[in-house]
Amino acid sequence: MINKTIFKPRRLSKRLKKHILSFDYENKVLYFKPGFHNYENNFVLKVIRDLYTSFKLFVPELERKIKIKDNILIVNGKIESYHIIILESFAKNYLIDVKGSVCVKENLSISFRKVSKSFRCDNNSKITSAKGFPRFVGESFLCYANNNLEIKKEELPEETGNFYFHNNKTRFTQEEILKYCHIKGKIIIIM
């Protein structure tokens, strides 16, 4: 049972407790209930992450998808923004390979190495940096309509299937992109 005095401020208490499955105080792990995935929960996760900085956060559905090999964390399946918040609580020292797609809504404090399907960061003014973006994307690199994103050529993926890059703060020509990125499919750039 969860200690009633654990959450501060009090107004968050009910909202936070209803999402927590259990605490493992010995190993400093906080487990969330399955099916934890909507916008409100991103806020809740951030509050919990900030309150419990020494805890690792886990959702059972994500935990089942993860394998670790050397310094590579391998995730089987799609990564949503709430998964990224959880991964940030324990995966900062790993490179992350995803056998699936990734959807980014904010700057990353973790580093993706490979994404087998699509890597998506679009329509978001919160993303200002490409730090942590993957080097290899299997299907599509979708990076557009991020008004504040400043990205260097060296931060582009080395290889991708399709490349969609437009309406970002930084602009590239097709020639500049092809210098740094091997693209197997379509290139869509709007200057």
Eight-class DSSP state of 54: T
Backbone φ and ψ of 87, nearest 5°: -60, -35
Give the Å distances, CA to CA, from 26 to 51, 63, 65.
17, 18, 23
Say whether both 57 and 113 belong to one domain. no
Say whether both 57 and 85 belong to one domain. no
Say whether both 91 and 140 belong to one domain. yes
Per residue in 22-50, pLDDT (tens digit) is 777 777 777 766 665 554 566 666 666 66
Say whether both 116 and 60 belong to one domain. no
Say whether both 144 and 74 belong to one domain. yes
Per residue in 93-139, pLDDT (tens digit) is 899 999 999 999 889 999 999 999 999 998 888 899 999 999 999 99
Distance, in Å, from the CA atom of 183 to the CA atom of 51, rounded to the nearest integer, reads 43
Mean pLDDT, range 5-13, rounded to an integer: 47
Say whether both 74 and 150 belong to one domain. yes
DSSP-H helix ranges across the chain:
13-17, 39-51, 60-63, 81-88, 174-180
Say whether both 80 and 116 belong to one domain. yes
The yes-or-no verdict on residue 162 having pLDDT over 90 is: yes
Say whether both 60 and 76 belong to one domain. no
The yes-or-no verdict on residue 75 having pLDDT over 90 is: yes
Q: State percent of the chain over pLDDT 90.
A: 45
Say whether both 60 and 8 belong to one domain. yes
Q: Which of 64, 81, 112 is the last residue of a domain?
A: 64
Range of the domain at 7: 1-64
Could you give the number of structural domains in the chain? Answer: 2
Say whether both 53 and 74 belong to one domain. no
